[in-house]
Amino acid sequence: MLDKLQQIIGKGKIRQNVSLGVYSTFKLGGKAEYLVQAETEEDIINAVQAAHTFKLNITILGGISNVIIGEGGIKGIVIRNLTSDKKVIQDEKDFVLLEVSSGYYITRLAKETAEMGYEGIEFHYGLPGTIGGAVYMNSKWSGHQPTKYVGDVVHTAKTIDREGKQNIRDKAYLKFAYDYSFIQETKEIILNVTLKLKKNVPKQLTERCMQAMDYRRRTQPYGVATSGCFFKNVNGQSVGKMIDDLGLKGYSIGGAEISTIHANFIVNKQNATPEDVRKLVDYIKKKIKKAYNVDIEEEVIFL
């Protein structure tokens, strides 16, 4: 099968039985049956075509920062999205339209757009994922009100479906909401995103980048293996505060621990397994249900 896949994707573009844990911000997880390191949009398109031709499952990953990969790994083709192009496609007096590859790391994008005087991404500085993943999850900054969402500045997204059909999706189609975009339902793959960014003073925007980074370093675990905030808030209530009020900071199962800094973070304290994380998540959900009679939902995706 590998030889057949290489005929479509290209030799040297695809490998078999590759560990994904090394790429994950949580530093755990099994193997990809086939891994494509996609450096261009064409690489993604070819991988989708190959998966469709041979009826294989296809999974796209960016920064692997908001997912937990099971010990059994992922069957079929896994695309690790490393695309990193960006260009201004429209330059007006007050704003620009900036087309960005979906694999572009959002912290890099926040820094570069701030330095260019383009407003809208700067508060996402310090996040580990890609712009494609941020659009998929409608990533947010809630360090102050009102909350800033990536979806606020998305103009369009170019997507490809599992059969290989490409589309340009506008903001109305994407149906952005809290921790949500319609792409979560359609399972389309985002190829690139066009952002509508206001023009502003670069110094002011770079200061916002630093403000966001300072806030994250003060309030969240930094420099450790984690997947970010683990649970979605419920009806405006902070799940992190609920967990903290139950005295669960520092509680661990196996190598997975509830952060002592921010209770809505789970950290890989010592060689955690995906099963450790799952057990800890289930434990937290049961405790929250018993204490508050609410069902909480993971923001992090289990694969």
pLDDT in tens, 55-88: 999 999 999 999 999 999 999 999 999 999 999 9
Q: Do 27 and 150 fall into the same domain?
A: no
Q: Do 33 and 71 fall into the same domain?
A: yes
The per-residue pLDDT of the chain, averaged, comes to 96
Cα 120 versus chain centre, distance: 18
What distance separates the 2 farthest-apart alpha carbons in the chain?
A: 56
Catalytic residue, from 209, 229, 275, 298: name it.
Answer: 229
Checking DSSP bridges between strand 154-160 and strand 140-141, what pairing results, if any? unpaired
Burial of 65 (0-12, 13-18, 19+ CB in 10 A): buried
Query: pLDDT exceeding 90 applies to what percent of the chain?
Result: 94
Q: What is the band of 141 on the pLDDT scale with cuts at 50, 70, 90? A: confident
Q: Domain containing 44 — which CATH number?
A: 3.30.43.10
Element (H, E) at 38: strand 31-38
Total Cβ atoms within 10 A of residue 250: 12
Give the end of a domain, one of 184, 218, 252.
Answer: 218
State yes or no: is 209 an active-site residue. no
Q: Do 194 and 96 fall into the same domain?
A: yes
Q: Do 207 and 252 fall into the same domain?
A: no
- Using the predicted structure, report yes or no on whether residue 143 has a pLDDT greater than 80: no
Q: Do 115 and 66 fall into the same domain?
A: no
Distance CA 163, CA 171 (A): 23
Q: What is the band of 235 on the pLDDT scale with cuts at 50, 70, 90? A: confident
Q: Do 170 and 237 fall into the same domain?
A: no
pLDDT given for residue 82 in this prediction: 98
Predicted TM-score (pTM) of the model is 0.93
Query: pLDDT exceeding 70 applies to what percent of the chain?
Result: 99
pLDDT in tens, 240-268: 999 999 999 999 999 999 999 999 999 99
Q: Domain containing 281 — which CATH number?
A: 3.90.78.10
- Using the predicted structure, report yes or no on whether residue 144 has a pLDDT greater than 90: no
Domain count, the chain: 3
Backbone angles phi, psi at 63, to 5 degrees: -80, -5
Q: Domain containing 104 — which CATH number?
A: 3.30.465.10
Checking DSSP bridges between strand 86-91 and strand 95-101, what pairing results, if any? antiparallel
Q: Do 105 and 205 fall into the same domain?
A: yes
Q: Do 134 and 163 fall into the same domain?
A: yes
Q: Do 98 and 203 fall into the same domain?
A: yes
Give the end of a domain, one of 218, 235, 260.
Answer: 218
Give the end of a domain, one of 81, 98, 122.
Answer: 81
Q: Do 104 and 144 fall into the same domain?
A: yes
Helix (H, G, I), strand (E, B) or coil at 180: strand
Show the domain range for 110: 86-218
pLDDT in tens, 35-50: 999 999 999 999 999 9
Q: Do 107 and 206 fall into the same domain?
A: yes
Q: Do 117 and 196 fall into the same domain?
A: yes
State yes or no: is 299 an active-site residue. yes
